[in-house]
Structure 1
């Protein structure tokens, strides 16, 4: 089939790669001048299937109220919210219960674990390089109360067969020696030895080059205007350069997917949740992280990317704003200096923000729509990098009529109709 993929972030590019490997004729269209120039550009860098958890969890409403008054809060809500934001937050609150959390986390871990396996296979098959490391992920806890609240997450890890290690303070420092100077601030940790790290921007650019060499056509700098319908099928995508016809279309536009598809009467429950990252050059190797360390108290990840440290986190409900308030810079600087003091060059920080496309239940939307030839691959939230390869492979298998390697019935848009 002739397939058009809308969006050249990590989700769009992995979709294009696997669709091409399945034998389809693929064109990718994006308004940016190259791949991975929006949300995929400078994310936290962690590939953490075991930490795939929905923001909608029991106790989150109470925590959110406390976070609003913290100096270095993991959640920021801007005033003057639009109705879409209010509706999305209400839907998320409806998922803040034990049953929904267990179901949603199970879905997310299933996709993320499969995606990690797909990434490993891809790396072996084509030798792609992206500052990757396979040294696991460590979540550190500053209070015993945080450790006591792990029961639900550990049960999901056990149910999914995900290896994990519960560590005391000494174990955390043994896994990440750079924490030695801050050991008095840590009471324990949860380590997932099979997790990985890597630069999503480097990966997406490298894979797009491989895809182009394999026959995928990339059209950059092209504004998308809308979709042309004929009955219950899509005939073409309207662009500033004219209409592009195809047999099938894949919307992988991240946070921009709902607005683009709204004229078709499709209600896609994805909302942009803004995140921030800080990139620092390493100036002291002995104090730097070896892999990813997640600070549970601040919901901030600190990741080693080659000779750099990437500090990423926070969730800000602010629509499509991409401004860079100094308060967010101060939070990221505080967390990295608090745990890995002296490791990175804080005199030359590189601050960035991106819009994570989040669903109310945390699970991505992968599958068909009521239009027979329009498919979705969006809504991955903070886990687009973690879930990218698996999502692309699942999409390609479903479109090609192949039986996917994992269950997919609860990943499509239909679950919201129920």
Structure 2
């Protein structure tokens, strides 16, 4: 058994993370030079994310057949997303006000270096409501894939799916072609996932080598608050949601633990998306629901990101001594309900979204304050990425049950088999 453990991707990622941390700690300069391995793996995954999302959404909508049914599933998913992300924002805001992680730093706004955040400030200037809505529309059908803009890919996929359901026999032929294309895409994903240990090693070696273990002390309280809040949200809020939907959150987390470890190692929820699509189908969720809800959640249901954004905003305000009224904090919540939805499609998403949010507080909090969290952002990204991926996986299970499209007998069998039950390397054959 132990002799064959090294062949398991889950074990390989765990070992790679441990080796990366060790190298970064004992040889920081060499650890920093490992960054290209982490970046390269993330780029490989992002290379297939757009096509995979497009195919799964289009095929999912087409297999629903009834466009009204497809719209109903999408509407239910969006309602669920809004309720859960609002809860995440409120919980993050409450914890930040109670824990006061930034109080006592007494940083003068004039001491902040605007050069560190200049590029993010420029990007944030474009994040008005009109700019956000116009930014969802790609310049062409292919530019969404070229730019790897997730929101634009979603729009193209929805339009393509609607058109295909209204195209009769021609639409059916295209559906068969996309079904076959999905087999190839998921085979590419399987090949890319073999490089996951290398990516996890590079990402962790760079983070520890660049920032070191000691630098965590100064902002450790903020990090602890973010991690604790994400923990409470997952096992408190999502635990109750899972129980209401008829399944055990803990058994579900054990079932998807390989994907969680992959996300933790790479600090990217996108790295687990292709395999999670298959994992949820294997757990009894109908393919049409999985293909529509899960990819959409990657743009509209970023629970971990919402928690991080509220806590980082309050932390910066406390650090510079800015007094925020109840009205200011309500404005903060309202703005984050919008800006957090664009986080998946913006370069430097966390900082850009944070700056766009702070800019709405009537100048009370200097946007240069974002520089205070740049150093530890990498260490908090695991918490928000894991929370995001768990939140979206739970959302898919809930919406599938809501629509009567979850096979609970199949779900229980999958949970009993556990993650050691190998998934197919390709998408399921058309039915």
Calculate the TM-score normalised by the size of structure 2: 0.28
Q: Which has the higher helix share?
A: 2
Which structure has the larger Rg over C-alpha atoms? 2
**Could you say which structure has the higher strand fraction?**
1
